[in-house]
Amino acid sequence: MNASSYRRIAVLDIGKTNAKVVVLDSQTGAEIAVLKRPNIAIKSGPYPHYDIEALWSFALDALKSLAREPGFDAISITTHGAAAALISADGALAMPVIDYEHEYPEEIRDAYTALRPSFEETFSPRLAMGLNIGAQLHYQKNAFPEEFAKVTNIFTYAQYWAARLTGVAANELTSLGCHTDLWNPKTSSYSSLVDRLGIRDLMAPIRSAFDALGPVLPDIADEIGISMPVYCGIHDSNASLLPHLVRRKAPFAVVSTGTWVITFGVGGDLDHLDPSRDALANVDAYGRAVPSSRFMGGREFEILSAEIGPVGNEAGWAAIGAVIAKGMMLLPNIALGSGPFPGKVGRWIGAEGAGREARHASACLYLALMTEACLGLTGAKGPVVVEGPFALNETYLKLLAALVGREVTALPGSTGTSQGAALLTGIRPAPGVERHFPPADIPGLSAYRDRWYKAIE
């Protein structure tokens, strides 16, 4: 079956918080069916790591169930970018796939910092924990030399799942080019770190995200009840970006929201990125560098919402005026270790005795101000597209439009990762249901912003 005749696409979508298999209609882009499970790290063993076998069992069971109803014709894959799979000669994992939130011993962190290439080479900032895949590989090689000596192949994370499905070894550009320290986006080649770590011969061949690697392996076809092509796969934030690259002309910005809030300044400025503020270049599905910045906004809002309790859009928006007038504010960071204001520890100002609605409104203001800061770091121009869970938060959307002074377009629904990954199969992007938020004058907001920045300093 050629790509143009696919009726439905199954996407294996493994994020930091949840794993899911989504079936999408190729004509409308609608999600027809979704099965998901939490992605819970195992704390025992040599280091915290993902429960790969539980994820694999879930993926096979979900594919088997969804193959019966509603059915699908091809499989695509998207995952978060801060993971690599180390494979031994027998095809099994040589070492567990490390949880990127694991913090390494100080001497190993210091040794890696001295070893890694400059930002000017990789456009990848030094990030906390294992958010640089290079740091993960350095830690695994130096802390566990006997186990690392058994490694014969290194896969980027999405391509590990593709290899388990097809038996075909591959790495891919969006996964290599997302703050890994392993890629030089200006030369479209591996960075000097690959040779410093002595792993060039272990890196699987690079394939395009758009490549069909092959059909599922025969035993998997028997298990799920059907054989179909599997596509190479893509880093999740770049999957979210792909539909916009197909549909829109630069310059524009995309704010992809999930556990992370990642901004892409398409047509923005690579030369003024500040690595100390979590700004970096991602590499898109076509191999082009895109200025980006990020903060862990989804995780932060999850923490805040658990403390504050549920508040509807109307109630949250109704509280904004009083919050601005009072100067009640939340300062970064709730989730430490990343974002445009590194080293800052979150605190409330003027929140004594505040009710649920006011705290929610302040949290939305905080998220909008953080997003505006990230957009500024990328040199983003033109309209701003927000997708994922935050596209349902009208208070946030109205505030963001007012802060940036440009129209904000919201694409509600799940994050665009599944839709973007489905496009790898050659189907055309379906128009989403867009909501538009023109910039409006919100009394006192500009002065509030100035006070917020001053309080951070």
State whether 242 and 204 are in the same domain: no
pLDDT of 28 higher than 80: yes
CA distance 39 to 94: 21
Read off the pLDDT of each residue in 11-29 and give the average, rounded to a whole number: 94
Which residue among 207, 232, 257 closes a domain?
Answer: 232
pLDDT of 317 higher than 70: yes
pLDDT number for residue 1: 55
pLDDT of 189 higher than 60: yes
The number of distinct structural domains making up the chain is 2
pLDDT of 407 higher than 80: yes
pLDDT number for residue 413: 59
Going by their DSSP bridges, the two strands 41-42 and 49-50 should be labelled as antiparallel
Which residue among 186, 216, 232 closes a domain?
Answer: 232
State whether 345 and 313 are in the same domain: yes
131: its two tokens: 């958010």
**Which residue is listed with tokens 């905080």?**
366
pLDDT of 29 higher than 90: no
CB 21 within 8 A of CB 76: no
State whether 89 and 205 are in the same domain: yes
State whether 164 and 224 are in the same domain: yes
Q: What CATH number corresponds to the domain at position 175? A: 3.30.420.40
pLDDT of 415 higher than 70: no
pLDDT number for residue 127: 86
State whether 297 and 415 are in the same domain: yes
pLDDT of 414 higher than 70: no
Read off the pLDDT of each residue in 47-55 and give the average, rounded to a whole number: 97
pLDDT of 359 higher than 80: yes
Alpha helices in 144-274 (DSSP H): 145-148, 157-166, 173-176, 192-196, 218-224, 236-247
CA distance 282 to 238: 8
Read off the pLDDT of each residue in 57-85 and give the average, rounded to a whole number: 97
Alpha helices in 384-443 (DSSP H): 394-404, 417-423
pLDDT of 4 higher than 80: no
State whether 203 and 79 are in the same domain: yes
pLDDT of 94 higher than 90: yes
Does residue 112 sit in helix, strand or coil?
A: helix
CA distance 183 to 119: 11
State whether 266 and 164 are in the same domain: no
pLDDT number for residue 237: 86
Of the candidates 209, 190, 206, the residue with the CA atom closest to the CA atom of residue 155: 206
pTM of the model: 0.85
What lies within 8 Å, CB to CB, of 457 at 6+ separation is none
Question: Which range (108-117, 270-279, 352-361) has the least confidence?
Answer: 270-279
Tell me the pLDDT band of 175, cut-offs 50, 70 and 90. Answer: very high
pLDDT number for residue 433: 82
Domain that holds residue 423: 237-456
Which residue among 232, 264, 292 closes a domain?
Answer: 232
Per-chain mean pLDDT for the chain: 94
What lies within 8 Å, CB to CB, of 395 at 6+ separation is 313, 316, 317, 320, 360, 361, 364
More confident residue, 12 or 243: 12
More confident residue, 49 or 457: 49
pLDDT number for residue 30: 87
pLDDT number for residue 103: 92
Question: Which range (125-134, 139-148, 194-203) has the least confidence?
Answer: 125-134
Of the candidates 52, 142, 40, 60, the residue with the CA atom closest to the CA atom of residue 101: 40
Amino acid symbol at 7: R
State whether 259 and 224 are in the same domain: no
State whether 208 and 310 are in the same domain: no
pLDDT number for residue 272: 84
State whether 243 and 303 are in the same domain: yes
State whether 212 and 287 are in the same domain: no
More confident residue, 428 or 86: 86
Read off the pLDDT of each residue in 250-260 and give the average, rounded to a whole number: 92
State whether 173 and 266 are in the same domain: no
